[in-house]
Amino acid sequence: MGFLDALPLTVMDWLRGLLGQGLPAWGVELVVGLIKVVLILVVAILPVIVLTWLERKVLARGQDRFGPNLAGPYGLVVAFADAIKILTKEDIIPQAADRQVFRFAPALVLIPTLLVFTVVPMGRGMIAADLNVGILFAVAIGSLAVIAIIAATWSSGNKYSLLSMFRSVAQLVSYELPMAFSVLTVVLVSGGLSTVRIVEAQVIPFALVMPIAAVTYFLASLAEANRSPFDLLLGESEIVAGHNLEYSGMRFAMFYIGEYAHIFVIGALTTTLFLGGYQGPILPGYMWFLIKTMAVVYVVLWIRCTWPRMRIDQLLDFSWKLLVPLNLANLMLVALVFKLAGTGLLGSLLSLVVNVGLLVAVGTFLVRRARSSTSRRTRALVLGEV
Amino acid sequence: MAFISEPRSLDTETVTINLGPHHPSTHGIFRLLATLDGETVVDVQPKMGYLHRGIEKIMEQRTYIQSIPLVDRLDYVCPLTNEHAFCHAVEKLAGLQVPERAEYIRVIMAELTRIMSHMLAVGFLWNELGATFTPMIYAYRQREFIFDIFEMATGARMFTNYMRPGGVAVDLPEGWMDLAVKVTDNLERFFDEFETLTAENEIFLARTIDIGVLPADLAINCSLSGPVLRASGVPYDVRVAEPYSVYDRFQWEVPTRPHGDTYDRYLQYLAEMRQSLSIVRQAMAALPDGPVMDEKARRLRPPKGEAYARIESPKGDLGFFIVSEGGAEPYRCRVRSTAQINLTALRQMVIGHTLQDLVVIFGSLNCTVADIDR
C-alpha cells in the first residue's frame, strides 16, 4: 500500500490515537462510528449533487444541446439552484391522501439506499462495516426500496399512482431473481459473502470471467432503480411520473435524491461485484473505485438518453423467460467449471468460454425458433426482417 | 374433487382513468376517457372540444385575406398546407388563376411543411415510447432549419401567413435558393441518420410491431386519409387521385406499407419525407420566372356561390368548404379536419392493447388537437 492509498486509514488511526488520550475505548469507537456515519452520508449525498448536474449534462449532450450552463461555471451549481427552488415550493397533500403514510414515504425512499453504502468497500480497508454477509445485506436492503414506493403510491390516492404501484411490484419481484442468481454466481466463485472478500478474489475482474452474470446484474439493478429502459414506474408519457405524481416541494425532491443515490449504488455495487472494486494499478484504491463507479453511472445515464421504455409484459417476459433460465444455467456451468479447473487462471478462462458458449447456444436456439415462427415481431426482433 | 377443478377467474374491477385534458401525451388539451382492466384497455372514449376556438365562426367576420392567419392556427404543425387548402378553395370560388411561379413556390412550401410535420410525428412517437426526448430533439433541430427557409421567404417562422388567394404574398427573396439548397441537402443526411439510429432499435421493434393494427377496410370505412391510410396498404393520395396545383408535373411515388401497425406508420412517415424532398428538389430546379399573384385577386369579392376544395395535407385529406354571398367575407366556412376524422378509428385500434400502447397508437395517428377542435 502506497502512502496515498493508505492516507484515509492513516488519518483515521491518527484520530483514534488522539481520541484515545482523552476518552475510554468505547468512547473512541463511538466517535469513530459517528464519523463513519457522517462520511457515508457525505458519500451518498455528494453524488446526488454531482449526478443532478451530470445527468442533465449527459442528456443534453446526447440531445445536441448545452444543458445547464448558467448557474456557476459549466452550470455546476445547478443542484443548489434546484434545492432553493424546491425548498420554496408549497408542500401539497391531496385530500384523498393517507396523510401519515404520504408524509412518511419520501423519508423511507432514501434509507435503504444509504444503508447499502455501509457494506461497499470504497478503497483498501475503507468500509464502514465489513459484514460477513455483506452482499446478502446489500441485496436484501436494496429490495426494501419497493416498500417506500408502495407506501407513496398507495397513500397518494391517485389512479395513475396505483397503476405505477402495480407495475413496480411486478417489476421488482421479477428482477430480484435474476439479480440474486448473478450475485450467487459471484459468491460461488469468490467463496464468501463479504464484499471485501469478493473484491479481493477478483484478480481478473468478474465481468471478464462471467459476462452473463455481469450484464444481468447491471440490467436487474437498472430495473430495481427504475431507470430507463425499465422506468415503467415513472412512465411520464402514460402514467405521468406515477409514484411521485402527487408530491411537491421537498418531498418530491426526496424521490429524486433517492433515485440519484440509487444510481450511484448501482455503480458502486457493479464495481464491487464485477469490475474488481478498488483494485487497479498506480492510482490509489479509492480513486479506482470512483473511476469505475462513475463509468458505470455514465452508462446508466447514456442508456437513459437513448433507449425507449419497454412494455410491462415484455419486461416480465424478458426477466422470466430469458434472464432467469440463462442465469440458472450460467450458475450451474460456472460452478462446474470452477470445481473442475480450480479458481485460477485456467478456471477463469474456461468460465469465459462457457459464458460465450452459452450465449451462442441461446442465440442459435432463438434464431432457430424465430425461423419457424410466423410472428412478425419475433422475426423482426431476432432475424431483423422488417 | 369438484371444488378444486372448478375454474375460477380472478374477478377484478375495471378502472376508469382520465387521460387528459392535461396529460403529457395528448399534445394539446384532449381528454381520453379510458377504461382499464389492469393495464389492458377495455374501452376509450375521446372527449373533444377543450381546444375549441371557433375559428370557423370567426372567419365569417373576416375578409378572406384576414382569415389566413386564422387558418394557420388550425393545425399549427403545418400552417402552410392549411393556407394552401384555404386559398385553393377561395380560388375555386372566385375563379382566380394562380401564376405558374406561385404554384411552384406553394408546392415547395407545402412539401417542406409535410417534411416538418412528419418529423414531429416520428420524433414525438419516440417520446411516447419513453425515449427521453432525444429523437424528438433531433427532429426538432432539423425542423428549425426548415423554419429558417420559411422565415426568409415569409417573415415568420411558424405562423407564416404567406399564401393568398391568387398566389403568394411576396416573391422569394434574393439568396433564398442558396439557403434552401443547403437545407435540403442537409435533410437527406438527416433522414439517413435518423433512420439508421431508430428504425431497427430492438425495443422500438418490440413496442411497435403488431401494435394498433389498422386493417385497410376499417381505415376506408372510417374515412381515414393520409399516411395513416397509406400505411394500411391503400395507395390513396389526393395529390394523385385529384391532382391540384402542379403536382402532376413531378416524378414521385406514393409509398405504402402492407401491415398497418404502428411500425408501418413510422416507416410510412420516413418514406414520405423522402418523396417530399424529391418533389421539393424537382420544383426548385424547375421554378419558372414571372409574377406570383393574380391581378384579379385585389379587392377580393367572390361571386355568390359555394366551393369545396381539398388538398393532401401532411395529416391527410384536408378540405375547405366555403359559401359566399358575394361580400368581402365568407358567409360560412367549414373545415374538413383530417385529425378529427383520423381519430375515429382510434377506439377499434386500441382495445385489447395496454395503456402504454394506447399513447403510442394515439401518437402514431399524428393528430393535432388544435385541428380536432378547431
A interface test, pick of B205, B261, B264, B266 with most A CB neighbours within 10 Å:
B205
According to the model, what pLDDT value does residue B115 have?
92
Residue of B nearest to A385 (CA): B200
Residue of A nearest to B363 (CA): A237
- Nearest 5°: phi and psi at B134? -60, -55
User: Which residues in A have their CB inside 8 Å of a CB on B?
Assistant: 59, 62-65, 159-160, 162-163, 166-167, 228-229, 231-232, 235-240, 304-314, 375-377, 380-381, 384, 386
- Are the beta carbons of B132 and A305 separated by less than 8 Å? yes
Alpha-carbon distance values, A276 to A3, A199, A270, A339, B24 (Å): 21, 6, 9, 22, 43
- Are the beta carbons of B263 and A386 separated by less than 8 Å? yes
Q: Which residues pair with B354 in a beta bridge?
A: B40
User: Which residues in B have their CB inside 8 Å of a CB on A?
Assistant: 15, 17, 23-25, 36, 38-39, 126-134, 137-138, 141, 199-207, 209-210, 259, 263, 267, 354-359
Q: Report chain A's C-alpha Rg in angstroms.
A: 22
Q: How far is B89 from chain A (nearest CA, A)?
A: 38
Partners of B203 on chain A (C-beta within 8 Å) are 229, 307-310
Q: Which residues of A111-141 are buried (b: 16+ CB within 10 A; e: fewer)?
A: ebbbbbbbbbbbbbbbbbeebeebbbbbbeb
- Are the beta carbons of A237 and B25 separated by less than 8 Å? yes
Partners of B130 on chain A (C-beta within 8 Å) are 228-229, 231, 235-237, 308-309
- Are the beta carbons of A310 and B39 separated by less than 8 Å? no
- Nearest 5°: phi and psi at B159? -90, 90
According to the model, what pLDDT value does residue B10 have?
67
According to the model, what pLDDT value does residue B5 have?
56
For residues B339 and B315, the answer to whether their CB atoms sit within 8 Å is yes
Q: Among partner residues B138, B201, B204, which is closest to A64 by beta-carbon distance?
A: B138
Amino acid at residue number A300: V
Q: Cα–Cα distance between B132 and A341 in angstroms, integer?
A: 46
Q: How far is A170 from chain B (nearest CA, A)?
A: 12
According to the model, what pLDDT value does residue B8 have?
60
Residue of A nearest to B139 (CA): A63
According to the model, what pLDDT value does residue B28 have?
74
Which residue is listed with cell 457493479? A270
A interface test, pick of B23, B31, B203 with most A CB neighbours within 10 Å:
B203
Q: How far is B322 from chain A (nearest CA, A)?
A: 39
- For residue B288, whether the previous peptide bond is cis, meaning omega lies within 30 degrees of 0, is no
A interface test, pick of B22, B122, B134, B193 with most A CB neighbours within 10 Å:
B134
CB atoms within 10 A of CB A33: 12
Partners of A160 on chain B (C-beta within 8 Å) are 17
Residues 6+ apart with CB under 8 A from B322: B89, B90, B93, B306, B307, B308, B330, B332, B333, B334
According to the model, what pLDDT value does residue B308 have?
92
- For residue B99, whether the previous peptide bond is cis, meaning omega lies within 30 degrees of 0, is no
Read off the pLDDT of residues A224-273 as tens digits, 9 standing for 90 and up.
888 878 887 777 777 777 778 888 888 888 888 888 888 888 888 899 88
Residues 6+ apart with CB under 8 A from A94: A102, A156, A157, A158, A246
Partners of B200 on chain A (C-beta within 8 Å) are 384, 386
Q: How far is A230 from chain B (nearest CA, A)?
A: 10
Q: Among partner residues A64, A160, A238, which is closest to B356 by beta-carbon distance?
A: A238
Largest CA distance in chain B: 92
A–B: how many Cβ contacts below 8 A?
A: 108
Q: Which residues of B300-310 are buried (b: 16+ CB within 10 A; e: fewer)?
A: bebeeebbebb
For residues A71 and A53, the answer to whether their CB atoms sit within 8 Å is no
Amino acid at residue number A265: V
Separate counts of helices (H) and strands (E) for chain A: 16, 0
What value does the mean pLDDT take over residues A18-46? Answer: 81
Q: Among partner residues A229, A237, A238, which is closest to B203 by beta-carbon distance?
A: A229
- Are the beta carbons of B209 and A384 separated by less than 8 Å? no
CB atoms within 10 A of CB A157: 15
According to the model, what pLDDT value does residue B2 have?
47
Q: For residue A122, what pLDDT band results from cuts at 50, 70 and 90?
A: confident
Q: How far is A30 from chain B (nearest CA, A)?
A: 46
Read off the pLDDT of residues B296-345 as tens digits, 9 standing for 90 and up.
777 788 888 899 999 998 988 899 999 988 888 888 889 988 888 888 88
- Are the beta carbons of A237 and B126 separated by less than 8 Å? no
Q: How far is A72 from chain B (nearest CA, A)?
A: 25
Whether the predicted pLDDT of A199 surpasses 50: yes
For residues B40 and A312, the answer to whether their CB atoms sit within 8 Å is no
Question: What sign does the dihedral A20-A22-A25-A30 (CA atoms) show?
Answer: negative
Which residue is listed with cell 377467474? B9
- Are the beta carbons of A238 and B36 separated by less than 8 Å? no
DSSP track, A198-224: HHHH-SS-HHHH-HHHHHHHHHHHHHH
Q: What SS3 class is residue B310?
A: strand
- Are the beta carbons of B356 and A163 separated by less than 8 Å? no
Q: Among partner residues B128, B355, B359, which is closest to A163 by beta-carbon distance?
A: B355
According to the model, what pLDDT value does residue B15 have?
83
What value does the mean pLDDT take over residues A90-100? Answer: 84
Grid cell locating B65: 385575406
- Are the beta carbons of B356 and A312 separated by less than 8 Å? yes
- Are the beta carbons of A237 and B127 separated by less than 8 Å? yes
- Are the beta carbons of A62 and B134 separated by less than 8 Å? yes
Partners of B21 on chain A (C-beta within 8 Å) are none
Read off the pLDDT of residues B220-267 as tens digits, 9 standing for 90 and up.
998 898 899 999 988 988 888 888 888 888 888 889 988 888 999 999
pLDDT tens sequence for chain B (374 residues): 445 555 566 667 788 888 878 887 777 788 888 888 878 888 888 888 888 888 888 988 888 888 899 888 888 888 899 999 999 898 888 888 888 889 899 999 999 999 999 998 898 888 888 887 888 888 888 889 999 999 998 888 888 888 888 888 888 888 888 999 988 888 888 899 888 888 888 888 888 888 888 899 999 998 898 899 999 988 988 888 888 888 888 888 889 988 888 999 999 999 999 999 999 999 988 888 888 888 777 778 888 889 999 999 898 889 999 998 888 888 888 998 888 888 888 888 888 888 888 888 988 888 888 888 88
The Cα angle at residue A47 between residues A235 and A301, in degrees rounded to 5: 40
Taking alpha carbons only, the member of B143, B263, B247 closest to residue B199 is B263
DSSP track, B159-207: S---EETTEESSPPPTTHHHHHHHHHHHHHHHHHHHHHHHTT-HHHHHH
Label residue B6 exposed, middle or buried (CB < 10 Å: 0-12, 13-18, 19+): exposed
Q: Among partner residues B38, B132, B199, which is closest to A59 by beta-carbon distance?
A: B132
The Cα angle at residue B61 between residues B59 and B63, in degrees rounded to 5: 75
B interface test, pick of A238, A321, A386 with most B CB neighbours within 10 Å:
A238
